[in-house]
Structure 1
Amino acid sequence: MLILQGITYTHPNRDLLFDNLSFTINQQDKIALIGNNGTGKSTLLKIIAGEILPAKGAVKTDSRPYYVPQIFGQYNDVTVAQALQIEDKLHALKDILDGNMTDNNLAVLNDDWTIEERCAEALAHWHLKDIDLHQKMESLSGGQKTKIFLAGIIIHQPEIVLLDEPSNHLDIAARAILYDYIQSTTDTLIVVSHDRMLLNLLDTVYELSGKGITVYGGNYEFYAEQKQIEENAFEQDLKSKEKALRKAKETEREAMERKQKLDARGKKKQEKAGLPTISMNTFRNRAEKSTAQMKDVHAEKIDSLSDAVDKMRKQLPDIDKIKIGLNNSGLHKGKILIDAKDINYKYGEEQLWENSLTFLITSGERIAIKGLNGSGKTTLIKIMLGEFEPAMGKIDCAANKAIYIDQDYSLIDDRLTIYEQAQKFNYDHLQEHEVKNRLNRFLFTKAHWDKSCAALSGGEKMRLMLCCLTMSDQAPDIIVLDEPTNNLDIQNIEILTRAINEYKGTLLVVSHDEYFLKQIDVEAELVVS
């Protein structure tokens, strides 16, 4: 059992991340921990793992959790054995087998005589047989690093496992092994992930937000359905309040018009009656006082409704605030854009692909480029974009403009500010206020315009990239997406999905995210091996 009591965390600058989180996770529960970027999911996992301490509160557990971190190069300076925290045991075992059976070596080994066998089994299970436990982590690919930590589950045999974006960098084959583990294990799991296929394998969703933890008793699809019901009810409530606000303003206008007409009639009657000036002034003062009182009554109601509407609009999900509006390719559907015949590429004297590639890509198609990690998917893209020449065969490309979008959103220049980046794509010479209006549409308000692009998260870079594409003078004939969801949370994946589904040109996608491929209606595959 895992119990969190009153967990509060503040950043080193004293900004509050989350406050007074309390919940219990029972043995063999499988929990998806989700929430927008910045809500503190990874931080909460590190607190549960004991890697960082909360400002307040306590974590109580029956056994020590095993933590699989999100990989971003932080372990490059250590060996595989050090990253897995087994180096001391392996060293003690070697010493003992060499005849150096000291009390210290026996204490370090702690009767774990099968540690080497489990290491070999774990590495083989994750197709890492050629990995030496004493080699540096920096020599491994991102997928291999992730698999090293996943192999640690077999080595350490924990009862509680914490997984932070475990499918990042994994190809389809490795994801299948991961999915099988999640389905079959009796370990207690807490998983942070944007991989919705993975999230659907978990029993319960814990949503972390500014309100704390909200529990949904089902997998991700159940959660999404419940959220949709909540959002529909919220939108109806917002529309009702907006309607009431419009009605209140209309009622005020009609009441004031009636009052003005009555006052005007009263004044004419008084003037006809030839009342003295002092009486006329009294009637006028009464009319003005009555008008002011009426205005106050209506203003109070309108202000109250207006405040309620403003607060609700601020609570709208970001995806509902964004107006995308990507332009579409002007090419007619079915025009041949890429014609490749028996192409291959060489690194040194060796061919990249066992069988040379022959294919046609026509305008309007949506194609997934598939293959294991290292099979040459990115190389093929660079050949299609004209950056590489094939070593053999022939390729013709009739696309006038292609946009390449990678997982790091390299279209964004980190040396520029957000406003300068938008201006870089302002080929239609929009006025300054129009550029800033576009930025506002993608949630970049005045407070963001002078912010450096280098400080943006993956989701923010994606939104800025989409904003830039809306300002281009010519819609791309082809958009190429190379692992575009790797650094995005679920909300930003949905924003990207909506944008891609608005685009009517040709789409080439490299992605291991099958859920994403299904959502953007990919209809064909080009497999490399």
Structure 2
Amino acid sequence: MATTAPSLTCNHLTFAWPDGTEVFEDFDLTVGPGRTGLIGLNGTGKSTLLKLLAGELTPGGGSVRVSGEVGYLPQNLTLDVTRRVDEVLGIEDTRTALHAIESGDVDERHFTVVGDDWDVEERARATLDGLGLEHIGLDRVIGELSGGESVLLRLAALLLARPSVLLLDEPTNNLDLAARDRLYQAVSGWKGVLVVVSHDRELLSLVDQIADLRDGGVRWYGGNLESYEAAVATEQEAAQRMVRSAEADVRRQKRELAEARMKLARRERYGRKMQAIKREPKGVMSARKRQAEVSAGKHRGMHEERLSEAAKRLDAAQEAVWDDDEIRVDLPHTEVPRGRRVLTLREVELRWGGRARLDFHGPERIALVGRNGAGKTTLLRTVAGQWEPVSGEVEVHVPLRYLPQRLDLLDEDLSLVENVARAAPGTTNNQIRARLARFLFTGRRAEQRVGTLSGGERFRAALATVMLAEPAPQLLMLDEPTNNLDMSSVDQLVSALHSYRGALLVASHDLSFLRRIGTTRWLRMDGQLTDVEPL
């Protein structure tokens, strides 16, 4: 008998948060076997949708149906640090029963627990090995693992359980390059249904189709991210042509309406003139006047209707064009002359281990890479003056600003204008507003309290705060800036950094992003800070 293929289906799904904020209304979705990349702007409900599919949230209306076992890897993974590895893998009871049998205990309960899973430990170690976790013993506790290792361990648990449906939410966040490669291998070999929410371009290059969550619905595109971007570019070019055509039509209809009104006005003046000189009987002239008024009304109404229809077509055409606003950072005072020294590290020993020597000259763009826990953030915080080195000397030669991974430089209770004013106390309110407009914060949005901003808006707010600070930063340091950003926000960040004229030091595992910002030098932190070939 044929088995039913695994699938995910949402019918007329409705969901809102307790405060009444609506996320989905009458939402439909069907996902079959294959690898699906789910993308969309921050706030469109991607993570919420995965939680609904995984059963972590209950819809307010409609239905969610899943055919097959579901495995779910959330974006913000929290594991009990006291649990053992085998507990996270879900094999602790089977291991206990196996060990009891091996020690001579032939209680029937142990055989029931083991069932046919006599090779569970071998399968678990093979799964860990496949994700680069061969050094992790099954009896170790979670508290001894790094954040990246914890994510891979949770993925190992899912792979070991062999679900037919796998849901991954931003799985590469906080993973170093080696761990990302392991994840890519696992995804590329996945059989069944896989839905992954990600902004990682390399991960999205492995999917079979893209689902774009936008305006409360999903648009499907066959192929991977590159195919999606090509299709969208074609669509947007056509949409722009439609807008230009509709704009021309509106201008033409306005011109014809104006001309029609002028002709009618001339006729009315002529009619009044004829009536004044009384060349025709009064009854005839009155009849002609009524007929002219009716004809004029119809003529004017026809042109007004044509203009209204043209305006509607223009509105529809403009709706088809996506918002592609770019951050523009025209800050001439951030420019660093070529060859000028911006940072010197002399035999620096970091507080958590690791050593660094560096001569950094402007306007270099340095990518800082390395495994999780190698000391990249420690190095950045030491350069920023937040932590003292154990020994050695850190000398910063130009104004420096640091954007930390957690964006904790912002005051949640203050508005964006007020946050920038704290960093640039000599700048007027009007100047701050004008500059914030370059970061896509205009009008009332600049007065919005930071605590109410979305993830992408919060990042733009933090970036604006550091880049608009006084004195203008000639050395900008960013720590994992693309984590938790949607693809549109990453594009905006790339655009902003292209127009930034100072020196850059960026710690990231996102190789695509590092290449796109024009990295000129690559450094690896792994005990020692060393130059490496471009990645």
Q: TM-score, normalised by structure 1?
A: 0.83
Alpha-carbon distance in 2 for matches of 1:88, 1:390: 47
Output one character per residue of 1:21-49: Cα deviation in whole Å (capped at 9) or x when no partner: 343523xx232222333333334434444
- What's 1:376 paired with? 375
- What's 1:36 paired with? 41
Alpha-carbon distance in 1 for matches of 2:156, 2:24: 32
User: What is the aligned counterpart of 1:172 among 173, 177, 193?
Assistant: 177
- What's 2:428 paired with? 429
User: What is the aligned counterpart of 1:487 among 474, 479, 484?
Assistant: 484
For structure 2, list consecutive stretches of 5 or more residues without a partner in the other structure.
Answer: 527-535
Flag the 1:462–1:281 CA change in 2: closer, same or farther, 3 A: farther
Q: CA deviation at 1:500?
A: 1.6
Alpha-carbon distance in 2 for matches of 1:116, 1:321: 53
Alpha-carbon distance in 2 for matches of 1:118, 1:132: 13
Matched to 1:478, the amino acid is L
Pair 1:17 & 2:24 matched: yes
Matched to 1:396, the amino acid is E
- What's 2:363 paired with? 364
Matched to 2:474, the amino acid is D
Flag the 1:59–1:374 CA change in 2: closer, same or farther, 3 A: same
User: What is the aligned counterpart of 1:238 among 220, 229, 243?
Assistant: 243
Q: CA deviation at 1:230?
A: 0.9
The 3-state SS of whatever aligns with 2:413 is coil
Q: Is the 8 A contact 1:363 1:506 kept in 2?
A: yes
Pair 1:70 & 2:75 matched: yes
Alpha-carbon distance in 2 for matches of 1:411, 1:307: 45
Flag the 1:69–1:275 CA change in 2: closer, same or farther, 3 A: same
Pair 1:56 & 2:58 matched: no
User: What is the aligned counterpart of 1:200 among 187, 197, 205?
Assistant: 205
Identity score, percent: 30
Flag the 1:176–1:328 CA change in 2: closer, same or farther, 3 A: farther
Flag the 1:341–1:136 CA change in 2: closer, same or farther, 3 A: closer
Flag the 1:56–1:100 CA change in 2: closer, same or farther, 3 A: farther
Alpha-carbon distance in 2 for matches of 1:89, 1:523: 52
The 3-state SS of whatever aligns with 2:373 is coil
Output one character per residue of 1:47-89: Cα deviation in whole Å (capped at 9) or x when no partner: 444545554335343x423333323436567554444333333
The 3-state SS of whatever aligns with 1:431 is helix
Output one character per residue of 1:135-189: Cα deviation in whole Å (capped at 9) or x when no partner: 6645543212211112224533445433222211110111122223333455653
Matched to 1:455, the amino acid is T
Flag the 1:138–1:233 CA change in 2: closer, same or farther, 3 A: farther
Output one character per residue of 1:303-342: Cα deviation in whole Å (capped at 9) or x when no partner: 3333443454455433x24563442445353142334254
Q: CA deviation at 1:450?
A: 6.1
Alpha-carbon distance in 1 for matches of 2:246, 2:62: 40
User: What is the aligned counterpart of 1:511 among 508, 511, 517?
Assistant: 508
- What's 1:417 paired with? 415
Q: Is the 8 A contact 1:4 1:21 kept in 2?
A: no
Q: CA deviation at 1:197?
A: 0.7
Q: CA deviation at 1:499?
A: 1.7
Matched to 1:380, the amino acid is L
Q: CA deviation at 1:484?
A: 0.6
Where do 1:442-457 residues align within 5 Å? 442=440, 446=444, 451-457=448-454
- What's 2:403 paired with? 405
Q: Is the 8 A contact 1:324 1:470 kept in 2?
A: no
Output one character per residue of 1:462-510: Cα deviation in whole Å (capped at 9) or x when no partner: 2333555675565421222211111111121112122222222222211
Q: TM-score, normalised by structure 2?
A: 0.82
Flag the 1:272–1:512 CA change in 2: closer, same or farther, 3 A: same
- What's 2:160 paired with? 155
User: What is the aligned counterpart of 1:338 among 326, 335, 342?
Assistant: 342
Matched to 2:63, the amino acid is G
- What's 2:8 paired with? 4
Alpha-carbon distance in 2 for matches of 1:19, 1:134: 47
Alpha-carbon distance in 2 for matches of 1:47, 1:104: 37
Flag the 1:269–1:415 CA change in 2: closer, same or farther, 3 A: same
Q: Is the 8 A contact 1:408 1:487 kept in 2?
A: no
Matched to 1:362, the amino acid is H
Output one character per residue of 1:231-283: Cα deviation in whole Å (capped at 9) or x when no partner: 11112112221222222223323332343344345444544569999999998
Flag the 1:363–1:165 CA change in 2: closer, same or farther, 3 A: same
For structure 1, list consecutive stretches of 5 or more residues without a partner in the other structure.
Answer: none
Matched to 2:247, the amino acid is E
Flag the 1:252–1:409 CA change in 2: closer, same or farther, 3 A: farther
User: How many residues are treated as equivalent by the alignment?
Assistant: 517
